[in-house]
Amino acid sequence: MAFGSFDNKNSGHAVSEINMVPLIDVMLVLLVIFIITAPLLSHSIKINVPQASSEPVQQDPKVVDFAVDADGQLFWNEQAVSLEQISALMAAEAAADPQPELRIRADLDTRYEVLAQVMSMARRSGLKRIGFVTRPAPTPAAGASQGAAADAGSAPAGASPAAQ
């Protein structure tokens, strides 16, 4: 050990060893503390809770289907409605408990303006659950055959639609 020497020959340089004894003492104290406190944390108060044989209430989530076709025609649960009627229908559904989910289906060619108006009306009426219904993307194998058929009928690159 470097500290127990009475020899004055090497007194000029510093000792580069770390004294591990205090570190080991601290670790042992922490180990003893954790061993003592661990069983205390796992014990809980024993309470005799009464048992009831009731079944949970099953509520079917209500869904409102809203659709917009390519011409801008609006449908509320498969019934044709006007833009003015939608606000009243949404307000009535927003007052329901539990509130239904509004699922919006729009044609690919639907104008963005119509969808923005519908979503704005839904927010103003108080509907909180709004979702979009989409079609899943085709798989790569099916997409390759559909893409080849679509390319056969398309215009050459750089051509305008009026040139066809």
Q: Sheet of 101-106: strands edge to edge?
A: 79-81, 74-76, 63-68, 101-106, 130-132
Question: What would the pLDDT profile of 122-133 be if each residue is shown by its tens digit?
Answer: 999 998 888 888
Q: What pLDDT sits at residue 154? A: 42
Measured between alpha carbons, how far is 47 from 61 in angstroms, rounded to an integer? Answer: 36
Predicted TM-score of the model (pTM) = 0.49
* The domain made up of 63-132 is a member of CATH 3.40.50.300: no
Residue ranges of domains in the chain: 63-132
| Secondary-structure breakdown of the chain: helix, strand, coil percentages, each rounded to the nearest 5 | 40, 15, 50
Give the confidence band of 115 by pLDDT, cuts at 50, 70, 90.
confident
Of residues 147 and 139, the one with the higher pLDDT is 139
